[in-house]
Amino acid sequence: MAKEFPVMLQDFTQGAFEDYLRQEPSPVAIVTVGSVEQHGPHLPLGMDMFAALEVAKEVAKRTGSVVVHPCWAGYSPHHMGFAGTISFQAETLKSILIDTVVSLATHGIKKILILNGHGGNAEIVSYAARLAKRETDAAILTSNAWSSGTTMAETIQYVDRHAGAKETALARALFDDLVQMERVEGFEPTASFPDAVEALRDPNADDLDLRTQLVMAYIRDTHTFTSSGVYSFAGATPNDADVEQAKEDFETSVARFVRLIGYWKAID
Ligand SMILES: [Zn+2]
C-alpha cells in the first residue's frame, strides 16, 4: 500500500483511521515496548524504547502497517539503583499489553506484532501475548526489535548487554543527537565479577551455553557489579561502537520484519 497514512496511531484522525481500515485489506499493528532506564552516562534513558520505535516505524512505512506505542516504561527493577529509571510492575506491563491488543482487535486489526526493545520485558511480553490470544481472535507475534547477530562466544567474552559497544553504535546510528559521547571519554570498563564467575568467561570453551546462563544468572542488580551502569568488558566499551555495522544490523532487522509481514498478509 502506498504511504498515504501516518505511521503512528496517535497521528491519525479518527476519520483517517476509518479510511485506513477500509482501504487496507489485511492491516497489521506493530505494538512497541521498551523501557525508561539508565543506559550508562551517555545514552538516553529511552534507548530501548527509541530503538524499538525506529525499527517499527521503518517497517510500518514499507508495509502500510500502523505503529502503536502504548507506554514508555517497561520492567526494569534491576536498574533502579540509578536515577531516572522508571520500572512498572510486571503485572502493570502485562495489563497494558493485553488491553492494547484487545482494543486493536476490537477495531478490526487481527494481526499484531509486539516488538520489544528491552530484554527485561521479554518473558512478560510472551506471557501477555499468550493470554491476549485467548481474549481475542487476533494473531499475535512477539519478537525482539533488533538483533546484532552477536555469537555466544562474543557474548561470553564481552558481556555487551547494556550500554556498551552494541547499544552505543545503534543509538549513534539512529538518534545520535541524544547521545553524549563526551561523558564516556577515556571510559574504562567498570563491570567486575567474582573470580568464579569471571572464570566462566572463556570464549573458547565448548559449553558456552551453560557458561552464558550462569553469567547472566549472576547479574541481579546492575549497580552491584558496574558503577557506570555499562555492562561490557574491554573490547566492547561505548568507544568501541561500530556505527556502520549498526546501520547494517538495523537494515537487516527491518528487512526481516518486512518479509515476515509480507508472508503474514497472505494468510487470512
Ligand atoms: Zn538497552
Enumerate the domain spans of the chain: 9-263
Position 118 scores a pLDDT of 97
Q: Quote the ligand 1 centre to 73 CA distance (angstroms).
A: 12
Q: How many CB atoms lie within 10 A of CB 114?
A: 25
Q: Quote the ligand 1 centre to 39 CA distance (angstroms).
A: 6
Q: Give the CA dihedral 126, 132, 138, 144, nearest 10 degrees.
A: -20
Q: Quote the ligand 1 centre to 26 CA distance (angstroms).
A: 32
The pTM is what? 0.95
Q: Quote the ligand 1 centre to 37 CA distance (angstroms).
A: 8
Q: Quote the ligand 1 centre to 171 CA distance (angstroms).
A: 10
Q: Quote the ligand 1 centre to 238 CA distance (angstroms).
A: 13
CA distance 172 to 166: 10
pLDDT tens-digit profile, the chain (268 residues): 444 899 999 999 999 999 999 999 899 999 999 999 999 999 999 999 999 999 999 999 999 999 999 999 999 999 999 999 999 999 999 999 999 999 999 999 999 999 999 999 999 999 999 999 999 999 999 999 988 888 999 999 999 999 999 999 999 999 999 999 999 999 999 999 999 999 999 999 999 999 999 999 999 999 999 999 999 999 999 999 999 999 999 999 999 999 999 999 999 8
Q: Quote the ligand 1 centre to 50 CA distance (angstroms).
A: 10
Question: Which residues are near ligand 1, the ion (C-beta closer than 5 Å)?
Answer: 47-48
CATH number of 9-263: 3.40.50.10310
Q: Quote the ligand 1 centre to 252 CA distance (angstroms).
A: 19
* Tens digit of each residue's pLDDT (9 = 90 or more) over 116-126: 999 999 999 99
Q: Are 225 and 162 in contact (CB under 8 A)?
A: no
Task: Supply φ then ψ for residue 32, to 5 degrees.
Answer: -105, 145
Q: Of all helices (H) and strands (E), which one includes residue 105?
A: helix 90-106
Position 149 scores a pLDDT of 82
Q: Quote the ligand 1 centre to 116 CA distance (angstroms).
A: 11
Q: At what angle do helices 165-175 and 47-63 cross, to 10 degrees?
A: 50
Q: Quote the ligand 1 centre to 119 CA distance (angstroms).
A: 7
Q: Quote the ligand 1 centre to 117 CA distance (angstroms).
A: 7
Q: Quote the ligand 1 centre to 80 CA distance (angstroms).
A: 14
Position 2 scores a pLDDT of 44
Q: Quote the ligand 1 centre to 237 CA distance (angstroms).
A: 14
Q: Quote the ligand 1 centre to 166 CA distance (angstroms).
A: 10
Position 146 scores a pLDDT of 87
